[in-house]
Amino acid sequence: MPGKRRKAADHGRNVLTAKPGRVLRHIALVPARAARYGDGVLGAFIPIWLLTVLGYFIARFALVGAETVDVETVLGRFVFRIAMPAALFGMLAKSDLSALANTSIVAFGLSSLTACALGLIVSTRIFGHSVGDGAIVGMASGYVNSANLGIPVAVQVLGNAGLLSTVILFNTMLVTPVALALMDVGNEAGPGIGWRQRIRGVLLLPVRNPIIIASVLGAVVAGTHRHVPGDVAHALSLLGGAAVPIALVTLGMSLHVAPKGAADATQPDGGRRDLLETVTSVALKTALQPVLAYVLARYVLHLHAHDVLAVTLCAALPTAQNVYIYAREYALDTAFARNAVVFSTLVSMAGLWAVVALLK
Q: Other CB atoms closer than 10 Å to residue 19's CB: what's the count?
A: 8
Listed by start position, the domains of the chain span: 2-257+270-359
Provide the pLDDT for residue 312: 97
User: What local confidence, expressed as pLDDT, does residue 181 receive?
Assistant: 87
pLDDT of residue 7: 46
Q: What is the pTM assigned to this prediction?
A: 0.81
Q: How confident is the model at residue 45, as a pLDDT?
A: 86
- Report the 10 Å Cβ neighbour count for 12: 22
* Helix pair 305-315, 334-359: axis angle to 10 deg: 160
Q: What are residue 63's DSSP bridge partners?
A: 65
> What string of pLDDT tens digits covers the 360 residues of the chain?
445 444 444 444 454 555 555 545 554 545 555 555 555 677 788 899 999 999 999 988 888 876 767 888 899 999 999 999 999 999 899 888 887 888 999 999 999 999 999 999 999 999 999 999 999 999 999 999 988 788 888 888 888 888 888 999 899 889 999 999 898 877 665 545 566 666 666 667 667 788 889 998 999 999 898 889 999 999 999 999 999 999 999 999 988 876 655 544 445 455 788 899 999 999 999 999 999 999 999 999 999 999 999 999 999 999 999 999 999 999 999 999 999 999 999 999 999 999 988 887
d(CA 181, CA 200): 11
Given the candidates 1.20.1600.10, 1.10.274.10, 1.20.1530.20, 1.10.260.40, the CATH classification of the domain at 2-257+270-359 is 1.20.1530.20
Residue 255 confidence (pLDDT):
87
